[in-house]
Amino acid sequence: MSLPEEIALFPLPNVVLFPTVDLPLHIFEPRYREMVADAMKADRLIGMVLLRGDWRREYHAHPDVYSIGCVGRIEKFDLLPDGRSNLVLQGLERFEIVEELGGRAYRRARVRWTPTAPEEAPPGVREQLRQGALGLLAEGGRSRAEKIWSGLPTEWDKLVNLLSFGLPFGEVEKLALLECAETNRRASRLIEIIEFRLAEQACLGPGFGENEPRH
């Protein structure tokens, strides 16, 4: 599909969307109800961006956001009687914010599209990624981890994107993955992050990270 030069922005502190990934959202703030209503009347597109810095101080205004994001299309929409809504965004393409625009209660921006180049998995990398992901998921048991892996997509770009989105990394780590312009570079960085996390777990023992603050 042809993508527009201007899109709505939905900044959140803990979500990094990736192409081909589905993201459920619950919409309740008035400005974002307006955003969704406008999107449903037009192209159904919403650009997800990550809040940065001390965003809590300016949350109801215009806190800083990272410039790289991913646009999603509303694939499922359920309007609730009180005006709230539940929806599912399907990630489409990466973008870079060129300029923020006014004129709405919610944020909008002119963007530059920076799609991720699809590639085939290099020899051995798929298995390296599988072993690393199973290592992270094995806390719930190896058989459970194997079952989770068996349910993942086989297409290389979809697999890399879903793991980048779904594995238990910090938001900035996930943003670093989204910033990769090629699937294989994203996979390489994903493996680096997994190996670092596994090394941390080996050094610090079971339960590492359980008491880390959540946002």
Please check whether residues 12 and 109 belong to one and the same domain.
Answer: yes
Kindly report the CATH number assigned to the domain that includes residue 61.
Answer: 2.30.130.40
Same-domain check for residues 140 and 97: no
Claim to verify: residue 15 and residue 104 sit in the same structural domain: yes
Answer yes or no: is 118 within a domain.
Answer: no
How far lies 102's CA from each of 11, 62, 80, in Å? Answer: 15, 11, 28
pTM of the predicted model as reported, rounded to 2 decimal places? 0.89
pLDDT digits (tens, 9 = 90+) for 7-44: 999 999 999 999 999 999 999 999 999 999 999 999 99
pLDDT tens for 126-160 read 999 999 999 988 876 788 889 999 999 999 999 99
d(CA 66, CA 50): 6
Q: Give residue 213's pLDDT.
A: 37
d(CA 114, CA 182): 10
Q: Is the dihedral of CA 137, 138, 142, 144 positive or negative?
A: negative
Residue 211 is assigned to a structural domain of this protein: no
Do residues 190 and 197 lie in contact, with contact meaning Cβ atoms separated by under 8 Å? no
Would residue 134 count as lying in a domain? yes
Last residue of some domain: 113, 138, 167?
A: 113
- One domain, residues 40 and 95: yes
DSSP per-residue string spanning 11-53: EESS----TT-EEEEEE-SHHHHHHHHHHHHTT-EEEEEEB-S
Domain that holds residue 61: 6-113
Domains in the chain, number: 2
The C-alpha atoms of residue 134 and residue 48 are separated, in whole angstroms, by 28
Hey, CA dihedral for 154, 156, 162, 168, is it positive or negative? positive
